[in-house]
Amino acid sequence: MHWPFLPKAARLYITLLANLLLLAGCATLSSTYEKPQLSLNSLHILEPDGLTQRFALGLQIMNPNDQPLNIKGLYYTIELEGYELISGVSNQIPEVPAFGTANFTVHANTNLINSIRFINAIIKQPKDTFSYSLSGKLSLDNFYPRQVNIEQEGNISLKH
């Protein structure tokens, strides 16, 4: 806006006040937002593609917010003992209803070099329990923030 009838100091003051109100409004909107949760429900081995093993991952996203999540895309990785073994992307994620969940399947590939490193480390130092990490980066269409990083960590025991 251009207000030639106001002194320069008054225009500066109004501009600063408008920016502060805008920032306060954005802070209010983001304070009610809660991160969605991403979990792995199933893992199926598919036919290999050359040296790369492929998987079908059954994932679930839980939305703890009062608005549906429109997800444009998802990048995900699975690590064991700090080695990124499986990763993939998808832009075919269903809408997650408000206070609801969505289950879907995505395809992923192995990281051949990290898989060899992981197997080598396990041969050198066998373990009964492995640490894992499932990480995801969601690109949202209708929420602020537009990009959300999600991580789930834990341990997997080979003992019954």
Lookup result for tokens 């923030």? 145
Average pLDDT over residues 29-37: 74
Q: What is the DSSP string of 58-127?
A: EEEEE--SSS-B-EEEEEEEEEETTEEEEEEEES-PPPBPTT-EEEEEEEEEE-HHHHHHHHHHHHHS--
Instruction: Say which CATH class 33-157 falls into.
Output: mainly beta
Residue 29 has pLDDT above 90, yes or no: no
Q: Cα-flanking dihedrals φ and ψ of residue 38, to 5°?
A: -115, 130
More reliable by pLDDT, 90 or 2:
90
Domain ranges of the chain: 1-31, 33-157
pLDDT digits (tens, 9 = 90+) for 108-147: 999 889 989 999 998 999 888 889 999 999 998 876 668 8
